Structure 1
Amino acid sequence: MPLFRPHPHDVLLCVISVLAGLVLWSLGLYTTTFRDLLPAWAALVPLAVMGVVELFRRTAPQPALLIGTAALIADQLTVGNLATVFMFTDVMYAAVVYGHPAMARRLPIVTGVITVVATLLSVALLRTPESVLIGVVTGIVCFGPALTGASVRYHREAADAARLRAEQTALLAEMDRKAAIVAERARMARELHDMVANHLSAIAIHSTAALSIDSADTSREALGVIRENSVQGLSEMRRLIGLLRQAGAEQEPVAVPSLDGLAALLDQARATGAASGLEFVLEDTRPAGGEPLPAPVELAAYRIVQESVTNALKHAAPGPVRVLIGRSGALLTVRVDSPYGDRPGPRAPGSGAGLVGMRERTELLGGEFAAGPAEPVGAAGATGTVWQVRAVLPAEEKAVEA
């Protein structure tokens, strides 16, 4: 608010106070009757000055308080006007409420000290019981408004702080909600990609083969594989839709893929990759009868193998694709080695999202992921370079929850 544009409420307060002071003066109602050094009309000067000061109580509290204090002292040299004193108490209150923080902190202390000093001096000099009233009046005029203003300001600042905290809490909640939505969308995207990529890759490979090779037997075989993968892909899509629609615990739980389904997964991969010269071998070295894996780890391991097999069907050179599953204490190791090199025949396009999804699944569980060319390890008779996908996942429930 500009300095020379008073608040409408302050203008109204000024007009009412000055009019009340004029009425009191016209009726001869003065605060004192023994100060006759100046004529009675002299009391109107401090009243007018205090009225002007009242206009700027909110926009310029510090200058208003200084000028108002001078006007109050001048009023004490005249017959006095009660409206002038009341306007000063309001200016003192406004200085604490609207002034800068340092002034708001100091005024209650300063006015409190002035009240105590005025009481002690009046008692020491006058030595009458009525002298105590001087200190009481000083406290009412100075200390009381300052203390009231400090209390009002404190509650206003506390309310502003509470409102700010509420806004920040709402903002953080909105940010958490958006982050949760983004994370859920990413999870759904990974799940959708992992479920249908294998089937769509097989469809793409065999449809390309059927189009490029003019043979009735080849086309019939390719159409059979395409139909099988289409049906299975549709089933997987329906499972995902059922999972998304599941709203409460009263509904039937949807089955989640586990490592027990790797054999069926590789059987399907063998049928799809036979034409490309790919062989799929599963080596599960986990001890029999061991503790079950946490559901998130089980699903992540299955999806990593599924995506690795899908990538092998798309890009691997002819040869064996080895899937190795092992568990050592609190760690589950998943490794897929596929032949690395040029591949003849049709190839399905890749987007690169598979590696990103596998890495995200692993890191969300606090595991380690690596993918790239490597020398074959632990495979009898294996030679040459392989493309190795390796993930190490926590195999204990508490590790996953942490």
Structure 2
Amino acid sequence: MFSPATRLRRPARPHPGDVLIAVVGLLGGAVLALLGLHMQTGRLFDPPWLPLIPLAVVSGAELLRRSAPQTALVVGTFALVADQFTPGNLATVLMYTDLMYAAVLYGTPAAARRIPVTTFLITVGVTIGFLAWLRDAEAVLIGIVTGLVSFAPALTGVSVRNHRDAAETARLRADQTALLAEMDRVQAVTAERARMARELHDMVANHLSAIAIHSTAALSIDDPATSRDALGVIRENSVDGLAEMRRLIGLLRTGARDAVPSSSPTLASLDALVEQHRTNAASSGLTCTLDDARTDSGRLPAPVELAAYRIVQESLTNALKHAAPGPVTVRLGQTGELLTVEVASVLGDRPGPRAPGSGAGLIGMRERVALLGGEFEAGPAPPDDGRKIWRVRAHLPVTEGSVRE
């Protein structure tokens, strides 16, 4: 058995195509020699079997045309030169042209650039040399033959290699384009899922929070009037939550990505939202008020109005879950191209049932503001009348171009 190091040192097997070329060339040259078909006469070494030696060497070099193309070309060049001192064999010349072609096609980039130039200079040098020696037009034919054997195969190899490299570049570019398209698709799916999660949380969480708090109150307080009021609030929030869920399902079925339906809540609906939370939070000692300090109450871009509404909605839901008894104030203001949304509540413990929180609301609000290119902050604020205050504040650009895709 061979060790891993031995397997690494063992040479690669010849390509099946190279083996086929070598065998066909060797057999073809042998047939030509048996038929007595030689390329030249009157050479230094005239035995008819002698051209078989360069033929065998070139055939062996063909086995290396892919794995070691430059070595194969050097060996083939020496064999071709030796063949010129014998009667010669056409198969030797043909296989040498293939070695020249393979050296350019499969060799290093430097060799692919160097070999065509070298063979061109050799062709020109042979032509000029034989013209100076023979002083006959026959020297031009010798130069043409030299070019056909060396320069023409090298030039063909350059052309094929360029086409191969261009095809490989196109394939890599196509793979890169496909990869980028897949990345865009994944990002789009992720963004859409995040948008759906925000919508689902903001539309349903406040209703479910009110249901949880009032159902706990109805179960823990043995008072028919309190239970009746709690069941009324539970029914109202159940109906509203179901309507919101149906609207979201209808939006998803339309397949309109990033589209804001005409029935989306706007800032004009904040009065009804605050009134609803005032009813839901009455049993918890919370008083909800709306302070709209905008001088211009006209419509803003739909994404801005939807984001502002959802921020107020989620802030009121958080106040219902966590705020201590006291005022919950919603303030709206607009300075130039900037809409300010602020919700403040009393920070502290409170008696009675409370709904658990997951922190997803703050994350969703922060994401909404970031998509509009605004600023968001949530945390304790300076005390008011000795009471600790929790404040949520968002600054939203009101220009259409501020919305990020």
The TM-score with structure 1 as length reference comes to 0.95
Deviation per CA, 1:75-114: give whole Å up to 9, x if none. 0111111110000000111111111222122111111111
Deviates most, 98-107 or 45-54: 98-107
Which of these residues, 99, 121, 131, is aligned with residue 113 of structure 1? 121
Separation in structure 1 between the aligned mates of residue 310 and residue 385 of structure 2, nearest angstrom: 25
- Of the three residues 377, 391, 396, the one matched with 1:393 is 396
Q: Which residue in 2 is equivalent to 1:69? A: 77
Out of 177, 180, 185, which is 2:185 matched to?
Answer: 177
Count of equivalent residues = 396
1:347 matched to 2:350? The reply is no
Q: Which residue of 2 aligns with 1:366?
A: 373
Quote the offset at 1:253 in angstroms: 4.9
CA displacement 1:332-384 (0-9 Å, x = unmatched): 111111111111111111111000000010011111110000016xxxx7542
Superposed, 1:315-334 pairs within 5 Å as 315-334=322-341
**Alpha-carbon deviation of 1:399?**
2.5
- Between the aligned partners of 1:285 and 1:107, the Cα distance in structure 2 is 82
Deviation by residue 1:215-249 (Cα, 9 ceiling, x = unmatched): 11111110010000000000000010111111479
Equivalent residue number for residue 25 of structure 2: 17
Alignment of 1:125-274 (within 5 A): 125-247=133-255, 253-274=261-282
5+ unaligned residues in a row in structure 2: which ranges?
A: 1-7
Distance 2:359 2:369 in 1: 16
C-alpha change, 1:4 and 1:246, in structure 2 (3 Å) is: closer
Indicate the RMSD between aligned Cα atoms, in angstroms: 1.9
Map of 2:4 onto structure 1: none
The answer (yes or no) to whether the contact 1:202–1:229 under 8 Å persists in 2 is yes
1:310-343 CA distance string (max 9 Å, x none) = 0000000111111111111111111111111111
Moved more, 271-280 or 118-127: 118-127
- 1-side partners of 2:155 and 2:25: how far apart? 22
Say which SS state the counterpart of residue 40 (structure 1) adopts. Answer: coil
For 1:301, the aligned partner's letter is A
Q: Is the 8 A contact 2:382 2:388 kept in 1?
A: yes
**Contact 1:294–1:400 (CA<8 Å) still a contact in 2?**
no
Give the CA deviation at 1:385: 2.1
**1:384 and 2:366 aligned:** no
Take 1:366 and 1:133, find their aligned partners in 2: how far apart are those partners?
78
Distance in 1, Cα, partners of 2:54 & 2:228: 110
Q: Does the aligned pair in 2 maintain the 1:239–1:254 contact within 8 Å?
A: no
- Alpha-carbon shift at residue 10 of structure 1 (Å): 1.5
Partners of 1:242 and 1:254 within 8 A in 2: no
Query: Aligned letter for 2:400?
Result: E
- Partners of 1:3 and 1:355 in 2: how far apart? 64
CA distance in 2, matches of 1:362, 1:255: 21
TM-aligned CA deviation for residue 289 of structure 1: 5.4
Corresponding residue of 1:29:
37
Q: Secondary structure at the match of 1:342?
A: coil
Q: Is the 8 A contact 1:32 1:79 kept in 2?
A: yes
1:310 and 2:309 aligned: no
Specify the SS of the correspondent of 1:288.
coil
Q: Give 1:288 shift.
A: 2.9
Determine the C-alpha separation between the residues in 1 that align with 2:147 and 2:11. 30
TM-aligned CA distance change 1:388 to 1:238, over 3 Å? same
Quote the Cα distance in structure 2 between the aligned partners of 1:276 and 1:299: 28
Whether 2:278 is the aligned partner of 1:301: answer no
Q: Distance in 2 between matches of 1:46 and 1:248?
A: 75
Structure 1 distance, partners of 2:400, 2:385, is 36
Tell me by how many angstroms 1:34 deviates. 2.1
CA contact (8 A) 2:373 2:404 kept: no
| Letter in structure 2 aligned against 1:348 | A
Identity of aligned residues (%): 65
Corresponding residue for 2:109?
101
Match of 1:40 among 2, 23, 48: 48
Query: Counterpart amino acid of 2:395?
Result: V
* 1:133 shift after superposition: 1.1
Quote the Cα distance in structure 1 between the aligned partners of 2:297 and 2:215.
43
- Structure 1 residue identity aligned to 2:393: R
CA distance in 2, matches of 1:7, 1:95: 15
- The answer to whether structure 1 residue 50 and structure 2 residue 58 are counterparts is yes
How far apart, in 2, do the equivalents of 1:374 and 1:4 lie?
75
Return the alpha-carbon distance in structure 2 between the equivalents of residues 55 and 105 of structure 1. 23
> Conserved in 1, the CA contact under 8 Å of 2:131 and 2:140?
yes
